[in-house]
Structure 1
Amino acid sequence: MTSTPRRVSRREQHRQGATGAKVTSRNTLIAYAFMLPFLLLLVIFHTWPVIFGTFLAFTKYNIINPPEWVGLENFRELFRDEQFWSGLKNSLKYILVVPVIQVISILVALLVNRPLRGIGFFRTAYYVPVVTSFAVVGLIWSWLYQQSGPVNTVLMALGLMKEDRGLLNNPATALLAVMFVTLWKGIGYYMVLYLAGLQSISTELEEAAIIDGATRSQVFWNITLPSLRPTILVCSLLSTISAIKVFEEIYVMTGGGPAGSTYSALFYTYSRAFYDFKYGLAAAGGIIIAFISIIFGILNFKLTRGGKADA
């Protein structure tokens, strides 16, 4: 004897739906409760400083006295300051690191994306500089760059340097020397991102192309590289923004010298804020740096076609 399913009345269906809605609302409240500590920290340490910093950009403020509204005067002073333009110029020069570090990181990722014995050791070795404190890295490379140091000895032996002079003490080479340290330290970070991108590419596409007679270089240019476009967008955005607001390397290794040759835009804002106590001027400089970062971010989207991989 088969039992017929009980017919549910509309009132009971409505009651079940209301119960389901209450459960959903409860789950939502629980989710927000778990997110609340992070959201509070985000507002306190990110959102509020951005709002307050934007306000300070239009004021005269030195901590001791309350902010005094001055309108666009801080921006006018910035545009008249040759030191700010010099720092901005060096920050834009630093962007030359971006294409170099992306190309090398892709090549290293391709190198370690192989099922070889001991490959985990090499992946770790490439990543060690990333997790090393820049205070330690800066001190090590400052010693390597000093007069009669290891780097000078090698360059003199290769005939690439005629005079034994510390690279960080020479205005012509100081910025390039610091840029190389940034390059060396950042390769491992972007290598990991590109490695994740490579491992997300379907091997069936590459195998099918090889079966059809494509060479390894053709597979790379027509399948691998287009599939990496989303990762390239993320990495280029991160490295471009880091290059524009370079600070740690300058602070630890050169302090903006020699003769202002490594003075960056962000180091300028730091100096105005904590040396001269002109917080309004420093905030105005920060807004300009943020605006330039947005412009280069848009350019990255254009160059990578919005990070869309080819179908």
Structure 2
Amino acid sequence: MSATAQAGGARWSAQAGGGAEGQSESIGASRPTTAAFGRARRIRTHSWFAPWLLCLPAIAFLVVFNLVPAINVVVLAFTNAKMLSGGTFVGADNFVRMLHDDQVGTALVNGLVYLAVCLPFLLVLPLGLAVLVEKKIPAIGFFRTMFYTPVVASAVVVGLIWTWLLDDRGAINAIAKSLGLITRSVPFLTDRWLLLLSAISLTIWKGLGYYMVIYLSALGSVPRELHEAAAVDGASAWRRFWSVTVPGVRGTMFLVGVLITVGALRVFSELFILTNGTGGVGGANVSIVMLVQMYASGFNGNLGYASALSVLLFVVTLVPLAVIARVQRRTEQ
């Protein structure tokens, strides 16, 4: 064999060896090590646990301050527990007693009337206000502040102001008499239905700004292009409102409906303050609502009966909420 052939063979052998060595090095470099496998396994193991660990304080708070008291209320509803004693199991006696308690029926009727009046007003009026204050016009910031001020005001202070306005010797009756509109004071706080109407008016006045802000956030998500396209097509402002704005905030309207329902059936401070803590007219309790009835029973020492009233209120609240959920599903379909 010639020297040239031997040299070429040597070069070929060296290249082949180098290629094999490089290939083995690249394979070795690409092969995960045992430590890398361990780290990946630990990451996969803890990836599902880390979010729950971060949520643990909030979950503990909800369990301690919401779930445990709710379970305790249900347990107490089947006992004759008093303020300073644990009581004994009495079965459904508290619920049977409610069937024969006229005040419970009156409280339920008043609560449903409260809901029937508050729901349409607080569902529609705040949306109209949100549409108005969303526009960029002079002094609009002042009106936004004015509408939201009742929300941040103390319920006790607001109730006392309304009591001063609506009392038999209050400002409204005094002004009406001075103008010759009435000769006798209007019994805003001593007539059952006028008292309910006064409390409803207070609730609506105080809730307008709160729900207006919720609607304002929803209006920001409605595409401006839809309004512009509708305006180009010649749609009026009213038509754009019904065809663009309302469908765009429909989900928020259902949320507001749920909040209004729960709030109306759980009304307390308005009637409690307007009636000086009695919850009714002249001590007859004809304007009482469920939370005032629960408050009276609980602070009179009958915790078992107050807990049963709480369970009843929870069940009653579920009925309109179920109706709202059903309407929402049908609308989405």
TM-score, normalization by structure 1: 0.89
Please say if 1:170 is aligned against 2:191: yes
Alpha-carbon separation, structure 2, partners of 1:298 and 1:222: 27
Distance change (3 Å), C-alpha of 1:106 and 1:285: same
The 3-state SS of whatever aligns with 1:47 is: helix
Alpha-carbon separation, structure 1, partners of 2:205 and 2:101: 33
Please say if 1:299 is aligned against 2:323: yes
1:125 alignment partner AA: M
Q: Which has the larger radius of gyration?
A: 2
1:77 alignment partner AA: R
Look up the match of 1:51. Answer: 71
Look up the match of 1:141. Answer: 162
- The residue correspondences of 1:49-128 to structure 2 (distance < 5 A) are 49-95=69-115, 96-128=117-149
Look up the match of 1:231. Answer: 252
269, 285, 293: which is aligned to 1:268?
Answer: 293
Over the aligned positions, Cα root-mean-square deviation in angstroms equals 2.7
Please say if 1:244 is aligned against 2:265: yes
TM-score, normalization by structure 2: 0.83
Kindly indicate whether the alpha-carbon contact (under 8 Å) linking 1:233 and 1:307 is maintained by their aligned counterparts in 2.
no
Please say if 1:257 is aligned against 2:277: no
Kindly indicate whether the alpha-carbon contact (under 8 Å) linking 1:232 and 1:307 is maintained by their aligned counterparts in 2.
no
Alpha-carbon separation, structure 2, partners of 1:222 and 1:8: 65
Structure 1 stretch 242-251 or stretch 58-67: which is displaced more?
58-67
The 3-state SS of whatever aligns with 1:49 is: helix
Kindly indicate whether the alpha-carbon contact (under 8 Å) linking 1:109 and 1:194 is maintained by their aligned counterparts in 2.
yes
Kindly indicate whether the alpha-carbon contact (under 8 Å) linking 1:231 and 1:307 is maintained by their aligned counterparts in 2.
no
**5+ long unaligned stretches in structure 1:** none
Alpha-carbon separation, structure 2, partners of 1:266 and 1:59: 20
Report deviation, 1:28: 5.1
**5+ long unaligned stretches in structure 2:** 1-21
Look up the match of 2:307. Answer: 283
Alpha-carbon separation, structure 2, partners of 1:154 and 1:110: 34
Alpha-carbon separation, structure 2, partners of 1:282 and 1:271: 8
Alpha-carbon separation, structure 2, partners of 1:8 and 1:92: 76
237, 242, 259: which is aligned to 1:216?
Answer: 237
What is the number of residues matched between the two proteins?
306
Kindly indicate whether the alpha-carbon contact (under 8 Å) linking 1:171 and 1:261 is maintained by their aligned counterparts in 2.
yes
Give the percent of matched residue pairs that are identical in Structure 1 and Structure 2.
32
Kindly indicate whether the alpha-carbon contact (under 8 Å) linking 2:94 and 2:304 is maintained by their aligned counterparts in 1.
yes
Kindly indicate whether the alpha-carbon contact (under 8 Å) linking 1:59 and 1:280 is maintained by their aligned counterparts in 2.
yes
Kindly indicate whether the alpha-carbon contact (under 8 Å) linking 1:104 and 1:187 is maintained by their aligned counterparts in 2.
yes
Alpha-carbon separation, structure 2, partners of 1:170 and 1:13: 84
The 3-state SS of whatever aligns with 1:69 is: coil
Alpha-carbon separation, structure 2, partners of 1:21 and 1:100: 58
Q: Deviations over 1:160-183 (max 9, x none)?
A: 755214411233411111110011
